[in-house]
Amino acid sequence: MKSRQTIKIYDTTLRDGNQALGINLSLTDKLDIAAKLSELGVHYIEGGWPNPTNNVDIEFYKRASRLRLRPRLAVFGSTRRPAASCATDAFVQALVKAEAPVATIFGKSWDLHVRKVLRVTLEENLALIHDTVSYLASRKDEVVYDAEHFFDGYKHNRDYALSTLTVAQDSGADVIVLCDTNGGTLPAEFLSIWQEVKRHVRCALGVHTHNDAGCAEANTLLAVGEGATQVQGTINGIGERCGNANLCTVVPDLQLKLGYDVIPPAALRRFTEVSIFVSEVANVAHNIRMPYVGECAFSHKAGAHADGVRKANESFEHVKPESVGNTRQFVVSAQAGSSTILERLGALHSNLDKKDPLVKQLLAKIKELESGGYQFEAADASFELIAQEMLGRFTESFEFKGFRVIEEKRESGDVFSEATIKLKKDGVYEHTAAEGDGPVNALDNALRKALVKFYPNLSEVKLEDFKVRVLDGTQGTGAKVRVLIESSDGRERWGTVGVSANVIEAAWLALVDSLKYKLMKDDRRRRLRGRRSSVRI
């Protein structure tokens, strides 16, 4: 049953999220993410803190106001400084000048912060809150008051923490947001404090939680259950220290589990896309294990699980993957059964039966390779090559005869890498050498140099990522290694794998697969275009 309560999503990815270790969003990054958040359907976008020393955020509000974003822009700042009035405080004036209809300011709720951080009396802090809220209330359409460190403040001095909320309310705040700034409040205590606050505050309440105790999303959902109407958080949960409440988890929870109408269903189906987009723009690896939007969220590896999902999706999936724009994956591994192989083969060869000998042969081949150290979770391209070769749909038209790699450390201190390869195509031998930044790069360059004269499209391939895993640490330098390579051609990314006791050979195997996959997929695209052309004729 759906609640009458209206929930507004307040996104602070561009401000609180940008404070995360390793993230530094440029002006262009912020504008791009803001446009994507607008498409997602959040209600507020907090762009940053445009103080006089932050030119990026000052410029953001100037440009963002021209983008015609659907969410309301919120500008963030603090209460006035103790030695200044609102009219003379440059930081407060920056909030007024920012082209945003909403002002969000934070004030101190914890007496420890008042005495030891602000270094003012408790009464002076109340005056800071009153003056700033009332000043902005007369100059902005809406004022959101973030009660910083509220839960810690309440636990140390209940009456004073509550008095800060009363002052903010009486001074004209439209929404009071209870912040678990240190992120250390556990759910039972969080709920008890929230219920007490409700007895003292009349205006709308919002929630802002951090994840230092792993409870940010749980506490946010508890707050909504107790009447919070504004939910603050970030895409992917990025933020200071351990991060903020993850909107990619909270919004689907609210909408799919609790029945709230938060954003349009069509927008919810874009959540995975937006999640990946933010990771890409922020230049961080996308967390594949995130609920709802992670690559693993609807992946099935164990044979029994895969078989169950094929028969009834809900048997091992709590929601439909497409409801959040994600997709179901059947992972090929030594734990996989025939159902997994059949599902993966479906896109390559239709009408295959689970009992088809080809399915069993491929399953046996995969398990044999994995017993030798191969892994295909991140190497779909290598799996597809194996499958297509067994289906008789792909045969390489060249034959590699060998390679040699030379590593030389010169007197200058520089390390010189050169690779030489020999291959045969149409009865003709090709012998090619190339240099590189390290042995793998030299091999990559030599491979493409040898093949590009026959296959010009291989010049599009770029090596995007290279990972090495030692498979048996007890063998020391003689252990087998697994090399995973990620490649792209500007349109698609794919993963390949190689395993050997020799790291150069393992890299070679993965590199060869990468180029073979490019040839295979381009050939398939050409044949598909040819069929479409003949249909039109």
The pLDDT score that the predictor gives to residue 288 is 87
pLDDT of residue 266: 94
The tens digit of pLDDT for each residue in 357-396 reads 877 788 788 878 888 888 786 788 998 999 888 878 888 7
Domains of the chain (ranges; CATH) run: 8-282 (3.20.20.70), 299-371 (no CATH), 398-535 (3.30.160.270)
354 pLDDT band, cuts 50/70/90, is low
Confidence of residue 255 (pLDDT cuts 50, 70, 90): very high
Model pLDDT, residue 334: 55
Instruction: Quickly state the pLDDT bin for 537 (edges 50, 70, 90).
Output: very low
CA distances from 306 to 109, 288, 315, 358, 392 (A): 51, 19, 10, 19, 26
Torsion sign across C-alpha atoms 448, 452, 454, 457: positive
Does residue 355 or residue 150 have the better pLDDT?
150
pLDDT at residue 476 in the model:
53
Q: What is the pLDDT of residue 49?
A: 97
- Which are the contacts of 426, defined by CB distance < 8 A and separation ≥ 6? 397
pLDDT band at 2 (very low <50, low <70, confident <90, very high): very low
pLDDT band at 199 (very low <50, low <70, confident <90, very high): very high
62 pLDDT band (50/70/90 cuts)? very high
Residue 56: is its pLDDT beyond 70? yes
Whole-number mean pLDDT of the chain?
A: 89
pLDDT for 282-304, tens place per residue? 878 789 899 999 988 988 776 66
Q: Using the predicted structure, report yes or no on whether residue 308 has a pLDDT greater than 80.
A: no
Chain centre distance of CA 393 = 36
Which position has the higher pLDDT, 167 or 467? Answer: 167
Model pTM greater than 0.85?
Answer: no
Please give the angle made by the CA atoms of 17, 221 and 212, to the nearest 5 degrees. 45
Q: What is the per-residue pLDDT for 142? A: 98
